[in-house]
Amino acid sequence: MLLDLDLPLGAVLGTFGVERHAITFHGQAAHSGSTPMNRRKDAFLAAGKMSQEIYAIAARHGGVCTIGSCTTKPGIVTSVVEECRITLDQRHLDAPALARMLQDARDSSEKFAREGNVKVSWDRLWQIDPRPFNNELIALCDEAIGETCGQRYRLPSGPLHDAAEVARAGVPTVMMFVQSLHGISHNKIEDTKEEHLELCVTAFDKLAEKTIAWLRTSH
């Protein structure tokens, strides 16, 4: 996001809530040579339709959706897929929007299962509520970035970070993001311009000073 806007730094509003599920489509194994196309109950066909649909769901609600894995049974070249299991990770900073994303995904999976004459089942793997950060600290972080860079921007964090648990424990929390080259993070090729790192250190120092002053006046 910072890369697209050509901004070096941003104040983080909080960490996304997460809904993570395994979706399994159940069809019928059948020989790939002898089974007519119109007679198949292909679990992979239904699962494959979800890969495009999750992008539409994310676009409607402003969050992010990812299918991170796909496994099939019997998993051989000569058989129609009897069972296809995909994993879906959905994230949003707003809890009601996250719930709507999840419902849309459920509805879509059932629709695709009906169209393919297969069945579908869901298993929750993990869930966490959104973790908004402290409004006063966000404002101070925003000020520090503005004083350092001349431009301000606020954005959510898709990854959770340890800060999510700190905020959940009731400790006033904020984060500052610095632009990643090519928009790649949490990867060995992640990198940041040296001048952006220098700006980040300066802005973080300003934020620390502002936070100390804030604590003195508020306690």
Higher pLDDT, 171 or 218: 171
DSSP the chain: -HHHHT-SEEEEEEE-EEEEEEEEEE----BTTTS-GGG---HHHHHHHHHHHHHHHHHHHT-EEEEEEEEEES--TTB--SEEEEEEEEEESSHHHHHHHHHHHHHHHHHHHHHTT-EEEEEEEEEE--EEPPHHHHHHHHHHHHHHHS---EEEESS-TTHHHHHHTT----EEEEPPGGG--SSTT----HHHHHHHHHHHHHHHHHHHHHHHHH-
Q: Give the pLDDT band (50/70/90) at residue 145.
A: very high
Q: pLDDT averaged over the chain?
A: 95
- Per the listing, tokens 């020989």 go with 31
Nearest Cα to Cα of residue 32 among 70, 81, 66? 81
Calculate mean pLDDT across residues 94-120. 98
Q: What is the pLDDT of residue 147?
A: 98
Calculate mean pLDDT across residues 193-200. 96
Contact 153, 2 (CB under 8 A): yes
Helix, coil or strand: residue 134 = coil
The full set of domains in the chain, from first to last, is: 2-14+131-218 (no CATH), 17-128 (3.30.70.360)
Contact 80, 29 (CB under 8 A): yes
Calculate mean pLDDT across residues 55-70. 98
Contact 20, 124 (CB under 8 A): yes
Which positions ≥6 away from 61 have C-beta within 8 Å?
A: 92, 97, 100, 101, 104
**Percentage of the chain exceeding pLDDT 90:** 89
Q: What is the pLDDT of residue 219?
A: 64
Calculate mean pLDDT across residues 13-41. 97
Q: Encoding tokens for residue 181?
A: 């080259």
Q: What is the pLDDT of residue 35?
A: 97
- Per the listing, tokens 């925003």 go with 142
